[in-house]
Structures are given as C-alpha cells and as structure tokens.
Amino acid sequence: MLPSERHAIILEEVSRQPAVSIRALTERLGVSRETVRKDIEQLAQENKLNQVRGGATSVRTHEPPMVDRTQTNREGKERIGSYVASIVPDGASVIIDSGSTTLAAAQALATNHQYLTIYTNDLTIASVLSPAASEVTLLGGRLDFSENATMGPDTLDHLSQYNAEYALIGVGGISARTLFTDFSLEGASLRHMMIERSQRPLLLADSSKFDVIGKVAMKPLPLDVSLVVDSELPKDIFEALSSEPVEIVRV
Amino acid sequence: MLPSERHAIILEEVSRQPAVSIRALTERLGVSRETVRKDIEQLAQENKLNQVRGGATSVRTHEPPMVDRTQTNREGKERIGSYVASIVPDGASVIIDSGSTTLAAAQALATNHQYLTIYTNDLTIASVLSPAASEVTLLGGRLDFSENATMGPDTLDHLSQYNAEYALIGVGGISARTLFTDFSLEGASLRHMMIERSQRPLLLADSSKFDVIGKVAMKPLPLDVSLVVDSELPKDIFEALSSEPVEIVRV
DNA sequence: AAAGAAATTGCCAATCTTTGCCAAGTCTGA
DNA sequence: TCAGACTTGGCAAAGATTGGCAATTTCTTT
C-alpha cells in the first residue's frame, strides 16, 4: 500500500468519525504502529488533521459556538448581508435559516425594509426582524440551546406549511471533495427543505466556510440556487461546483 | 477510545443536558470512574464545564435575562414563582404561557430544576429555561413583537400536539363582574387550550391583576384549576369565584 | 426529627498498560 | 548495491485501572 493511499484512507476515517486511533488504523491499513504514527505526523503538519495521543482527530470536530462565530470574518458577513438586502425587494416573503451569516443578512434587511414576511427558526433573527417586518413567523420545535434556534421534526412540519419567494440559507462548510456539508443532520434536513420551499434560494457562505468539512453531507441541491460568497472561491472548490446547479455570486 | 473522543462526548452530553453523572459517563465511555473524573477535572480547568460532586454541569450561566425593573409588583411575582417551583417536581412536563408572571415562575424553575420538559410560546421564557431543562419546545407561529411570544392559529395547532402534567397560565385581569379576562382573542384561545392540555393547570395572578378588566372574556374554565395569588383577593372577587371550579392558593 | 447504617463519591498511591520516540535492523525497487 | 520506506525492539513517559480509606450523601429506623 502506497503512502498516498494510506493518507487518503486516514483522512477519510477522520472525516467520517471525529477521531481515529492508531490501533484501529494499523489494522485497517496493515502496517505498523510506527508507520501510522508518522503518517499522522505528516498529515498534521499539513493541517489535514490533528495529532493527539493515540491517534488523530479531525481538524474541526465541532462547530465553534455561536458567540465566537458571529465574530469570525464579520466584515465578510456584513458585505454578504448588504448584498442580500439589495436584491430582496421590500414586501417579499423570506425564509431565513439560523446562523451567524444569515443573522448578518437579517440585520441588513432590518435597516432597509418595512414590509417583509419572514419565516425563521432562529430566535435572534426573529427578534431582530420583528420591528422591521409586517409579519414574522417563528417555526416551532425543540429549542437548540447553542444555536438559539428550533430544530427537529416539528420544525420541518411547520415549515412545510409555507412557501416563500426567497430563502437565506447558511452552510456549515464547502470543500471540493464533499461540496456542501453541515454539522447536524437535523440542520441539514431543515436547510434542504428551506431550499425546496422557496422560489429563489440563496446560499450564504463567507470565506471562513471554505475548506471546512462538516460531518453531514447535504443532499444534492433540489434546484438552481445562488451561492453568495464574500471572496474568490478556492480553485478546486470552484471546479467541483461547476457541475452543480449553482450560480456563484461574488460580492 | 481516545482521550479526545471522551472529552468530546462528555462536552456533548453536558451541552445537551445541564448535568451528567460520572456513573453515566463510565457506562457511555467504557472506562473507569477515575478516568472520567480526571477527564472532568481537566475539562473543568479549561472552563469547558463545571466539576461537581458525582459529575459535571454545564458551564453556561445563562445570560442575564434583562430583568425589567419597571415591572409592577415584582416581589409578588417572585413569591408566586417560588411557590410554583416548589410544587412542580423535577422531571415534570410543563406548558408555560407568555407574560411577566409566568416569566418569574420560569426563572424560579430554572434555579431549582434540571430535567423539565417545557412547552412555551414565550421566547424569553424559552431562553431562560433552555439551559435548565431536558428539552424546551418553542411553539411556532406569528411573533407578537410586544409580547415577544408567538400567537395565532399555528401556535394553537402546534400546542394541540402536546399534553403536559402542569400548565402555568397568566391572566389579563380578574374582576368580580367579568371574572377572568384577557387583552386579546388569540391570547385567550391559547391560554384556554393550555389549560385543556394539562393535568394540573395553575393560573398565576399577582395583585396587580385584581379588578382589571380586559376586553376579551375567557371561556368558562374547562376543568379544575388552581389560582395562585400573592395577596388576599378582594372580597367581591372571592365570592364571584366561589361558584367556579377554582381552588385559590394564597402564597 | 434524629441517629445510625449503607451506599456513593473524592482522592491518593501503587501497579499495569499504552503510547511516543529513538535507534537499529530489514525489505524493496531501480 | 543503495537509498528510501517500513518494521522491530526497547525505554521512558503518559495514561488507565485497581484498591483502600475518608468524607459525604442517602436511606432506614426509631
């Protein structure tokens, strides 16, 4: 088995689970402990994974908490928000996903618009838009503490009653190999339905999402979407997206 | 199982519930008590959680729920809240109405309980109880800006899917002539259904509600309820209530 | 309500196991 | 043959388990 094969397998394992042990890898790869250790050492230097005692962990096992996320690449998120506010006309109906990027968009909408109809599962976004919209519908369901948003089957049920002209969707991560990924299955299902339920879905991804791989792959995009980004996409991601029904908007 | 895997699992547990026991973790992780204890010790040093006897608790000290200091009769509401917290056992399921009196009760519940199942239409109450409950379900629907709570047919629909052991209901006003009244039709319908959907409904009314007449009369009480008040009821109201299926609790 | 018994838990020390790291040896393909 | 890659073996360090004991909590009984 070639080193590159081993590396690929190690990376696959580590992206499928949050961590792998050297012990497990020696069996899977049929090589010695020491070889696996050196492979991991090498991959860790390339920032493909984290080396920990006894094995390796994925570079990003958990999504950082919301409080931190609102601060990362704030300027990029604000630029995306302004763009969204410029293309969504006043009076439109908009489904808005939870997250820090969509929150930035909601804040931008709140300053320019008055007669929006909003559907969202994010409590913060609902509060932000409440004074600036004709009507805000909060999707019901189990409250996820860290996201401050509702999730789960009830939320899907509730959303299924509505259609909107626009949808603002956040993504967990984009990479060339896995395309769009998410950090929870519930979140992925919800976002998928949000896309289906709108005429014009906008995927919002600031540059901090590039090359990030979440643990859940998103289902294939059901229809044409626009991907709004704040900086040039890495070339490999750009090429990987060329076969998808995605229009890329750089703002 | 790698140390980092264990840490991730422990943190996940502690973010899902407000507390985990070492006992439960030893089973979940398949390692000895001492190992779990040391893991917790380590995570506690990193401020990822709190170490307590027998386990760990979430580090989240829920953000100061900006108490409205202009709130009328705050002391009375707090007394009602403490009483409610004393009779609702931990682990119970509770429907909670929106409003300042029920918010006081929610705050009291949050300090004493850990494993409640909550259904509420009030965003503030949901946030307050989120770290202190096993599960918080936010009822979906149109967001009422002034109440910071959801209302309307969607909310009724959603609530109709649930039953709970307790319900904490606020009232708009109580008077001898009109008995219980409310300020909106939507609110009255919702409160009525909340009473129907619980085994043990508690109407909470501090003294600022006495002799107040809202514009909507509440439908007759569907079953026995307890009315929790913080001071002696005016005599005329007391007599008017004597023919109703109401047990009056003075706290 | 208080006292005592039983169970749980924290903490420590000794022991066993696993892992990291290094050096030397072995294998393989050009 | 030789250079690079892999394995093997050994040792020290880190990690994990076990058992013991005291402190604390919980349950019982009076």
* Chain A residues 8 to 47 with C-beta below 7 Å from nucleic strand C: 21-23, 33-34, 37, 41
pTM strictly above 0.75: no
Are A154 and B161 inside 8 Å of each other by CB?
A: yes
Chain-centre distance of CA B210, in angstroms?
A: 23
Are B2 and A61 inside 8 Å of each other by CB?
A: no
Chain-centre distance of CA A112, in angstroms?
A: 26
Residue A145 is encoded by which pair of tokens?
A: 């503490």
What pLDDT is recorded for position B66? 40
DSSP symbol at A8: H
- What is the distance between the terminal CA atoms of chain B, rounded to a whole angstrom? 53
What order of strands is seen across the sheet that includes strand A173-175?
Answer: A173-175, A179-182, A216-217
pLDDT of B175 higher than 60 = yes
- The tens digit of pLDDT for each residue in A181-220 reads 888 889 999 999 999 999 999 999 998 888 787 788 888 8
Q: Is A220 left (phi over 0), alpha (psi -120 to 50) or beta?
A: beta
Amino acid identity of A124? T
- The tens digit of pLDDT for each residue in A90-140 reads 999 999 999 999 999 999 999 889 999 999 999 999 988 988 889 999 999
Decide if B138 contacts A138 (C-beta within 8 A): yes
Chain-centre distance of CA A165, in angstroms?
A: 21
- Residue for token pair 């949901």: B126
- Note the CA–C1' distance, B239 to C28, in angstroms: 101
What pLDDT is recorded for position A232? 87
Are B130 and A145 inside 8 Å of each other by CB?
A: yes
Chain C nucleotides near the protein (CB, 7 A): 8-13, 18-23
- Residue for token pair 């604000």: A78
Q: Measure Cα distances from A68 to A60, A64, A100 in Å.
A: 14, 7, 9
- The tens digit of pLDDT for each residue in B125-158 reads 998 888 678 899 999 999 998 888 999 999 999 9
Phi/psi at B209 (5° precision): -90, -10
B140 interaction partners in chain A (CB closer than 8 Å): 137-141, 150, 154-155, 158
Radius of gyration of chain A (CA): 20
Q: Measure Cα distances from B198 to B125, B159, B229 in Å.
A: 18, 11, 20
- The protein residue nearest D6 (Cα–C1') is A35
B1 interaction partners in chain A (CB closer than 8 Å): 21
The greatest distance separating any two alpha carbons of chain B, rounded to the nearest whole angstrom, comes to 70
A161 interaction partners in chain B (CB closer than 8 Å): 154
Closest CA to A97 of A188, A165, A178: A188
